[in-house]
Amino acid sequence: MKKNLCFALLASTLLVAASTHAAPSIQSSSVQHFTGRCLDAAHRSHKDVNCEISAVVKIGQQLYLANDKPIPGEGTSSLFSINFQGSPKPPFNFKSLTYLQGEPIETADKLEGLTKVTFGDASYAIATNAFTRAINPASSTVLYWPVDNPESINVLGDPNALHQQIGAVLGESFFQVEGIAVVPGNRLLLGIRRLGADYHAAKPAFIILQTPIKMTKGQIVLDGDFQVAYQFTPKVPGDDRPLGLSGLEYDPYNKRLLATTSHEDGDKIGGYLWSLPMSLLSQDKAGMPEPFLDPDGRPLWFDNKPEGVEVLSDSQILVVHDDDRVQVADSTKGKSKKDNEFAYSVITLHNDQPGL
């Protein structure tokens, strides 16, 4: 009797320990689709804009968004923000936008990633270009600025040297960066979406590069060379559409990476949201990426083209979309948009799942 009781207590202890260390939830309880604006009434010119939102990051009460191309209008730029008052519920208020100004922003070409980092008491926003044009430093730049002083924009390293270093690590002359994140230990991650000998030969990819960064004399600097931290071919059962990495961010609540992958073939677009265990960045590469699931338990597919991801809370994730000029119909999987608008999705996870 005592032996049976001991076994029962041991089994109970192991069960509790297992649930404590269970993987964070990938099961959604709801997926809501909305539209936001990249051009507000105060800055609107005579020309409407096709919004192409490529990245998002939340820092304090500010939600920053990057547009793939410069936004026409007086006093605008490809980077803008909205103010989150308290803990807002979607849909978010895009009636009044604040555009970041400064030469590095105004000359930047194809911003494709946003993230944040903290050194001491100071928080910084970081943005990356696509790195698709080696001869143009404006497309091979990583920018950063203090959150409390957004006009003080700096460039991380030498653009030409950085482009050459990344190309050497990847072993190809053409690559496309879409995604940037900073993980614990101040490790900077870059996500590679396409890779090949040139633009026309490039194929979809899912590669994560990694290097340490540090603060030196008031400047953020690389503290080593980029290395390939992880790569795989994203596949969802029953779906053979090629997918490339399109967004990357660290989830501090659940200690994992979040990534978006997207597909584009003419007017056929869409993509998935993924959860990656941090162990994938270690030497043993333990674990596997998993697609998030819709409320019915199937891989969560977006009819819009997901391009950026951010964590709003321990149970909510924001995904922003860049549909280029493709028109998407309203459905449970996507959202149509008008001129000056972009689509975004808010995924709410089951709050009774382990890890939340």
pLDDT of residue 22: 54
CB 333 within 8 A of CB 301: yes
On whether the pTM is more than 0.85, the answer is yes
pLDDT tens-digit profile, the chain (356 residues): 443 434 333 333 333 333 334 568 899 999 999 999 999 888 877 678 899 999 999 998 899 999 988 888 888 989 999 998 766 789 999 999 999 987 778 777 789 999 999 999 999 999 999 999 876 777 889 999 999 888 899 999 999 999 999 999 999 999 999 999 999 999 999 999 999 999 999 999 999 999 999 999 999 999 999 999 999 999 999 999 999 999 999 999 999 999 999 999 999 999 999 999 999 999 888 999 999 999 999 999 999 999 999 999 999 999 999 999 999 999 999 999 999 999 999 999 986 544 43
Which domains are assigned to the chain? 25-349 (2.120.10)
CB 211 within 8 A of CB 225: yes
Q: How far apart are CA 356 and CA 318, in angstroms?
A: 16
